Chain A
Amino acid sequence: MFAYTDHGKTLQPARALENYRLALHLEYSQSARLPDSAFTLAEAFDEVPAAKAQTAGVEWAAFPRAALATNAEIDASRFQLQDEYVEWAVDKANGRIQRISFTTEFLAYYEALARVGSDELIAAIKAVIPTAQPQVSELFGPGFVTASATENARAGRFRAFAQQNPWINGKKGVICLAHKSSTLSALFRLVDVAAIPNPKVQPGAICTTLAGNCVPERNSDPNIAAAVQSLARNDRSLTLADPVGIEVASLAGIWRVGGHIIDINDREANAGLWKVTRGGRRAELTVPADLLLDDVPIGSGAQVAAALRVKASIVSAANVDLPDWARVGQERSQRLADIATGGAL
C-alpha cells in the first residue's frame, strides 16, 4: 500500500495511520478501476520519471456560489450552504467577531482515529485545539459505550453523529468538514468520473454530464472536473496528489489593521492574524476590531470566505510515460488489481 502522508501529524498511534491509509487506498483503488478513466493509483507515479510528472493545483473560491443567501444566513446554515469543501465557524464575544476558523479536513481523517478509540480521538482533537476538553458523549452521542463497541461501530457512530458533535459543528470547535457533500469519497468520485474523456462536450461543460457527482452551480466541482477532463482529454493519466485533500491557498483582498495595509498571507508580517496549519487543512483568522477587508470591517465568516482561495492538487503525466499497467484502458490489469487487492489485505 502507498505510504500516504499524514498531513496533520495527529494519526497516533500507528494503527490510526494504518486505518487512514487503508481508507485512502480503498478510494484510490476504486477510482483507478473505473473503466476508461484516466485516474490511476498514486503508486503508478513512483514509476514515472520526476521530470515527466506535473502537479497542478486546481484553485477555487471558498464562498459557496450556489448559496443565494446573505452572509449571515450562510454562516448560520453551515450544513445546508457551506458546500465548497470548506466550512467555518465564527467565534463572537459581546456581539463582535473574535475569530473565524476554517477547515477543509475530511471527516474520514478523524474517523480513522475513532476506529482506534475515544482516547486517541480526544488526543487528536486536543492537538488541534489545545484548550479542548472533549467528552465521549459529545463525540459519539449519548449512551454510546465506545470501549465495548467494534471499530466499525465506533466509526459509524462517529460519522453519523458528526453534525451534532460540538467539536465539529462549531459550538466548541470545527475540526473537520461535515457537510454531506464534502466527503473524501465525493472528491474521489468527482475526479474519477471527470477523468473519463468525453469529446462530445467542452471540458468546461463536463460537470453537467457527471450526474450526481458534480454540482454545476458550485465553484469547486466544475473547477475540478474541468481541470481533470482537460488532462484526460490530452491523453494524460492522473491521480490526486499525496497528501490528498483540499488545501488553503491564500486570502485575497486588501487587509488593513489600524489603517495600515498588511500582507495577510505572510506569516512573518501578519502579526499572527492568519494562521494556516495542518498541512493547509485548517486556518484561523483572528479579528481585532480594526481589521478591515477591502476597507470593510469583518462582519461574517462568509465575507472572509469570499476572499479565501483553496485548492486540490492533481498529479499527471502523459499516458505513454506511465507504466503499462496504469494506463487508460488497463483498469482491469492484473498488476493494478494486485496492488489494489494487496493493499486491502
Chain B
Amino acid sequence: MRRRFVVWLFGLAVLCAQSSTVGQSALTKQASDESIPSLMSQAELGELGDPLFLLVLKNRPQEARFDEVEKLIMGPSGERNLFVVDERLQSATRGERRRAVTAFKGSNQGIRLDPNVALSTMFNDRGFVPAFIEAWGWDDGRSRYNYYKLDGDPPSWKFRGSSVGADQLEAAQRRGTCLACHINGGPVMKELPFPWNNWHSFRNSVNYLAPTAADHWQIAESPRFRDLRGAEAFETVFILPSIRQFNGRRLTAASRALGSGEQEVTDGPRTLRSLFRTTEYNIISAGQFSGLHPIPSPGAGPPDPVVIPDTFFVNANLLAGGGIPQYEGLGIPEARQFANLLQFQPAEYKAVVAKLNTSIGGLAGDTNFAWFVPEASHVDNQMVDLLVRRGVVTREFVAAALAVDVENPVFSGTRARLLAVIPAGFRFKPLNPGDVPAAHPDQLTRDVIARLKALSPPTESPEGEFLALLEQSSPVDTLRSKVIAYSDRVRARLADSQQRQGEIERLYRLMLQRRDEAVAHNPALVESSFLFPRGTP
C-alpha cells in the first residue's frame, strides 16, 4: 500500500494514456504499474470476496468518488476511522500532501468491516486528491488479501493482485506491484509499535489537523476529520488482529492432516522462513522526542533522557513474550533488561547525532522520535510464536535458531543461512491449548541435527553453532545465558567512563547500519529521504 509516491506519479502518467482504452463499466485488472489494464472475466470476478469488492466494486465498479466509496462500505451502521501518516508529518506547510488511511468498524450487509478493509488516500490542506485510492480487503472465505487501486484519467478501479503466493515472489516479480511493499501479502504498518514516529497519535498529535487549533488546515473542519484517530488504534484495532488472522490462515494452509493424528508441513523452508529470515521489518524508536527534527526547525535536543528500546539489542518481544503483541514467547524475561540498559542524557544524545553527521531529508537533524531503527517484524515474530503454539516447532528449536547471532535480531545473514538445512517436509503433532508440547528433541530437530552433521560444519560456523545448540538439553537456557552475558557486557562498557563514549558510538553506528540494511532489504518501503536519517559510518 505504502509505495513510493514518485512511483505512483510515474504510474499515473502511464495510466492516463492507457485507461481510455478500457471500458468504465466493469472492473479491470492490472498486474503492475507498467502493464495495460484489461477487463476481468466473470470467473475472475467470482474469485473476489472481500468487503471492498462485495460492497462497492461488484455493483459499482465505476465509483470513483471517495465519499461514495466510504458510504458504500459503511452502510447505515459502519464506523469510519481516519489515520494520518507521512514522513513530513511535522510540517504544517499548506499545499503539501499527506497520506491518510481509512479503516472501518462494524458490519454492513452481514459483512464484517474491521479489520478487513482499508483505503489509502492523499490530501492537502484543502481536500483529498481526487480519483486516487489504494485499497486492500480481506477475503475471509479464501483466506487472502486482495489489492485494488483507483487511478487514471478518467479514473478506474483496477484489481492489483492478491496475497496468494506473495511470500514466494522474487524482487523482480514484485516490481510495480502492491506486493513490492506487502512482502508476505498482508497489511503493512512499518512503524507499528509505540511511538509510531510518522503517524498522528496521542504521542505525536498534529495540531494543524485539529479543527480547534488557531492555524489548522481547512480540511480539518471537514466531517471526515471528526473520525481522526491515533496510530495506537490502527495498531491494536486493525493491524494486530489482521496479522494474527493472516498468519493463522497461512500456517493452516502450510500443513496437511495425516491419518495418524499428526500433520505434515509440505514446504519446510517456506513455513519456517520467519524464524530464520527477516521477511519484513518494523521500525521502533525511543519513546522520547529527539528535539532535533529539522521540520519546521531543529530544536535544542531531547527534552528528556532518551531510552533505547530493548528490541534494538535482541528480539526481546519474542524472547520475553507478553505485551501488546500477545506472544507466548520463550520465557526469557531477562531480554527486557535491555530496556534499562542505555539511557542517554539529552546532551549526550545530541552530541552523538552531531558527531556522526546525522541528516534526514538532506538536512542536519534526526527523526521526530530519537533512535529510529528497524526491529524484527510483528508478522515474523507472530508467525514464529504461532509455530510454537501449534506444535509445528518446539520452543527449544526456536531458541536454538535465535541464539545464533542473537545480537542481530533483524537482517541477520548468519541466521538466514540456516534455512538451507530445513527439510522440505516434516511431521508434527498439532498442539491444542493445554496440551503438553513435544519433548526436545522432536522429529524436526532430529532431522535438522542429522542434516547438519552431514555437513560436518566447523564449530565456529553458524551451522556448527546451530548444531551444538540443538544437541543441548536446554537451548532455552543457553539462549538466556547469552542474553544475560550480552546485557552484562554492554552494561559494563556503558558504566565505565573510559568506554562509555566508544560504546555509544558503536551502538549508534549499528543503528545506522540497520537503517542501511532496511533500505537494501526493500527500497520500495522507503517513501522519501525523510524516513531514515543517514550518518557517517
Instruction: Give residues in A with beta carbon < 8 Å to B.
Output: 54, 58-61, 63, 65, 67-71, 73-74, 95, 200-205, 208, 216, 219, 222-223, 226-227, 230-231, 233-236, 250, 252-254, 261, 263, 265-266, 269, 294-297, 299, 302-303, 306-307, 309, 316, 318
5 A-B pairs closest in CB distance:
A294-B244, A295-B248, A252-B237, A204-B203, A223-B202
Given A68-B320, A204-B205, A223 contacting B214 (CB threshold 8 A): no
Q: Does B169 contact A (CB under 8 A)?
A: no
B236 at the interface (CB under 8 A from A): yes
A205 CA to B88 CA, complexed, in Å: 19
List 7 A-B pairs, Cβ < 8 Å: A54-B212, A61-B232, A63-B324, A71-B326, A204-B205, A216-B287, A263-B106
CA distance in complex: A119, B213 (Å): 51
A257 to B321 CA separation, bound complex (whole angstroms): 27
Q: Which of the residues A71, A230, A295 comes within 8 Å of B322, measured between beta carbons?
A: A71
Which positions 297-327 of chain B face chain A at CB distance < 8 Å? 303-304, 320-324, 326
B210 at the interface (CB under 8 A from A): yes
| B233 contacts chain A at the CB level, 8 A cutoff | yes
User: Given A204-B202, A234-B212, A299-B433, A61 and B236 touching (CB < 8 A)?
Assistant: yes
Name the residue on B nearest A255 (C-beta). Answer: B112
Partner of A307, one of B204, B230, B241, B287: B241
B339 in contact with A234 (CB, 8 Å): no
Other-chain contact of B324, A222, A250, A263, A306 (Cβ < 8 Å): A306
- Which residues on B sit within 8 Å (CB–CB) of A204? 195, 201-205, 289
Residues of chain B within 8 A of A263, CB atoms compared: 106-107, 112
Interface centre among A253, A302, A303 (most CB of B within 10 A): A253
Q: Are A70 and B329 in contact (CB under 8 A)?
A: yes
A-B contacts at CB below 8 angstroms, number: 130
Could you tell me the distance between the alpha carbons of A95 and B435 in the complex, rounded to whole angstroms? 13
User: Among the interface residues A263, A297, A316, which one has the most CB atoms of the partner chain B within 10 A?
Assistant: A263
| Cα(A236)–Cα(B216), bound, Å | 15
Q: Which residues of A lie under 8 Å from residue B534 when comparing CB positions? A: none
Bound together, the chains give a CA A73 to CA B333 distance in angstroms of: 12
Given A205-B303, A250-B105, A295-B244, the answer on whether A222 and B203 have CB atoms closer than 8 Å is: yes
- Contact present for A226 and B322 (CB under 8 Å): no
A296 touches B232 (CB 8 A): no
Determine how close the nearest CB of chain B comes to the CB of A286; give it in whole angstroms.
Answer: 18
Given contacts A226-B205, A230-B205, is CB(A208)–CB(B232) below 8 Å?
A: no
Bound-state Cα–Cα, A231 to B140, Å:
41
Q: Whole-angstrom distance from the CB of B77 to the nearest CB of chain A?
A: 9
User: How many whole Å from B55's CB to the nearest CB in chain A?
Assistant: 15
A292 vs chain B, min Cβ distance (A): 9
Interface residues of B in 460-488 (CB under 8 A from A): none
Q: Is A294 a contact of B241 with CB atoms below 8 Å?
A: yes
Residues of B within 8 A of A (CB): 105-107, 112, 114-115, 140, 194-195, 201-205, 207, 210, 212-214, 229-230, 232-233, 236-238, 240-241, 244-245, 248-249, 287-289, 303-304, 320-324, 326, 328-329, 333, 336, 339, 389, 433-434
User: Knowing that A63-B324, A222-B202 are A-B contacts, what are 17 other residue pairs whose CB atoms are under 8 Å apart, sorted by A's residue number?
Assistant: A67-B322, A70-B322, A70-B328, A95-B434, A205-B304, A216-B287, A222-B203, A230-B207, A234-B210, A234-B214, A235-B214, A252-B115, A252-B241, A263-B107, A265-B106, A294-B241, A295-B249
Q: Are B107 and A201 in contact (CB under 8 A)?
A: no
Report chain B residues within 8 Å CB of A295.
Answer: 244-245, 248-249
Considering the chains assembled together, what is the distance between the CA atoms of A59 and B236 in angstroms? 12
Q: Are B202 and A254 in contact (CB under 8 A)?
A: no
Give the nearest-CB partner of B90 in chain A: A202
Known contacts A63-B324, A222-B202, A306-B324: does B112 contact A230 (CB below 8 Å)? Answer: no
Q: Which residues of chain B come closer than 8 Å to A200, judged between CB atoms? A: 303
Chain B residues with Cβ below 8 Å from A68 are: 320, 322-323, 333, 336, 339
Q: A234-B212, A234-B213, A254-B112 are in contact. Are A306 and B203 (CB under 8 A)?
A: no
Residue in B closest to A230 when the chains form the complex, CB atoms: B205
* Inter-subunit contact A219/B115 (CB<8 Å): no
Q: Are A201 and B205 in contact (CB under 8 A)?
A: no
Closest chain-A Cβ to B253's Cβ sits at a distance in Å of: 13
B234 to chain A, nearest CB (A): 11
Whole-angstrom distance between the alpha carbons of A63 and B204 in the complex?
A: 21
By beta carbon, the residue of chain B nearest A298 is B433
**Complex alpha-carbon distance, A202 and B194, angstroms:** 16
Pair A306/B236 contact, Cβ less than 8 Å: yes
Distance in angstroms between the alpha carbons of A58 and B320 in the assembled complex: 30
The answer to whether A223 and B232 have CB atoms under 8 Å apart is yes
In the complex, what residues of A have CB within 8 A of residue B336's CB? Answer: 68
B205 lies within 8 A of A203 (CB): yes
Tell me the minimal C-beta distance from B7 to chain A in angstroms: 31
Most buried by A among B195, B210, B241, B249: B241
Is B112 in contact with A231, judged by CB distance below 8 angstroms?
A: no
A69's partner among B203, B245, B322, B326 (CB-CB below 8 A) is B322
Complex-state Cα separation, A295 to B204, whole angstroms: 32
Contact status A254-B322, CB under 8 Å:
no
Contacts of A203 in B (CB 8 A): 205, 207
User: B289 near A202 (CB under 8 angstroms)?
Assistant: yes
Shortest CB distance A95–B (Å): 7
Which residue of chain B is the closest to A262 with respect to CB atoms? B112
Q: Please name the residue on chain B nearest to A70 by beta carbon.
A: B322
User: In the complex the two chains form, is B202's CB within 8 Å of A226's CB?
Assistant: yes
- With a cutoff of 8 Å between Cβ atoms, the chain A residues found around residue B433 in the complex are 297, 299
- CA of A253 to CA of B248 in the docked complex: distance in angstroms? 14
**B249 proximity list for chain A (CB < 8 A):** 295
Q: Once bound together, how far apart are the Cα atoms of A67 and B336, in whole Å?
A: 11
- A302 contact set on B, CB distance < 8 A: 322
Residue in chain B with minimal CB distance to A269: B107
> Does the CB pair A208–B333 fall under 8 Å?
no
**Is B107's CB under 8 angstroms from A266's CB?**
yes
Residue of B nearest to A72 (CB): B322
A contact residues around B304 at 8 Å (CB): 205, 208
On whether the beta carbons of B244 and A296 are closer than 8 Å, the reply is yes
Q: Which residues of B contact A205 (CB under 8 A)?
A: 203, 288-289, 303-304
Are the CB atoms of B241 and A253 closer together than 8 Å?
yes
- Is there an interface contact between A59 and B233, defined as CB atoms closer than 8 Å? yes
